[in-house]
Amino acid sequence: MRVSDLLEEGLQALHLPVESRLVDQLLSYQHLLLRWNKSTNLTAITEPLKFVTHHLLDALAVHEFLAGKRILDVGSGAGLPGIPLALIKPDKHFILLDSNGKKTRFMMQARIELGLQNVTIVESRVEKYDDCVDHVISRAFSSLEDFSSNCLRLLNKKGTLLAMKGPEYGSEMDALVNCQVRVHAVSVPMLDAVRYLIEIQAS
C-alpha cells in the first residue's frame, strides 16, 4: 500500500477531511522528520507506513477531545502529537514545549516549512513554564502522577490534562488525588494496539 493511501484511509476512519493539501502537509512533515532523524535522534520508527500509523494517526486519534483554543504539548520532542493536530485544527493554537534544543530546532524548521501560523515553540522544562492553557497534552510523561503534579497548575478553569497512554496505565491511577479522572479508549486506524486517553481535571 502507498503511504498516501494509508494516510487517506486513516483520516477517513477518524472522520477527518481527506483533503489533498492536508495529506501533502502531513506527508511533508513525515519526510522532514525522517530526513532530520538521520543526524538527530527524533524517532525510532523510520519505516514510512509504520510512521503513518504509530505517529500520524496515533496523534490525530485524539482530535475530538480538544475543545479549547490553547493547547500545550509537553515533551513534544519531534512535534508529536502537536504538529499533526495543529495541521488539522488551524483555529486552535498549539504551544510545543521541550527542553531539548535539537528537538526544538527541528520543530522550528517544521513550523517554517509547513507554514504553521498556529504553533509556538518553547525550549524549556515544564516546571519553568507558567502560561495558562485550556488543555495540556502529552505522550512523553513517564507517570500520570508527575504529569498531574507538574501541569494541573497550568490549566484555565475547566481545562483538562490529556495523557496518551497504552494499556499499562492502570497501576498509575491510585496516585491521582484531588482530581477528576475519565478514561477514554481510543481507536487508532490500522494499528492493532490499545490506546487510552486519560483526561484529568482539578476537583
DSSP for 40-105, please give it. S---S--SHHHHIIIIIIHHHTTGGG--SSEEEEET-TTTTTHHHHHHH-TTSEEEEEES-HHHHH
Residue 81 lies in a domain: yes
Residue 13 lies in a domain: no
Residue 128 lies in a domain: yes
Nearest C-alpha neighbor of 110 from the set 37, 59, 5: 37
Longest CA–CA span in the chain (Å) reads: 48
State residue 15's pLDDT score. 96
One pLDDT digit (tens) per residue for the chain, 203 residues: 899 999 999 999 999 999 999 999 999 999 999 999 999 999 999 999 999 999 999 999 999 999 999 999 999 999 999 999 999 999 999 999 999 999 999 999 999 999 999 999 999 999 999 999 999 999 978 799 999 999 999 999 999 999 999 888 888 898 898 899 999 999 999 998 889 999 999 88
State residue 192's pLDDT score. 85
Q: What are phi and psi of 116, to 5 degrees?
A: -85, 100
- The span from the CA of 142 to the CA of 181, in Å, is 18
Q: What is the CATH number for 171? A: 3.40.50.150
Residue 17 lies in a domain: no
How many domains, in total, are found in the chain?
1
State residue 58's pLDDT score. 96
Domain membership of residue 104 as a residue range? 57-202
Residue 90 lies in a domain: yes
- Interstrand relation of 179-186 and 195-202 (parallel, antiparallel or unpaired): antiparallel
Residue 47 lies in a domain: no
Residue 37 lies in a domain: no
Residue 41 lies in a domain: no
Q: What are phi and psi of 172, to 5 degrees?
A: -90, -10
pTM of the entire structure? 0.95
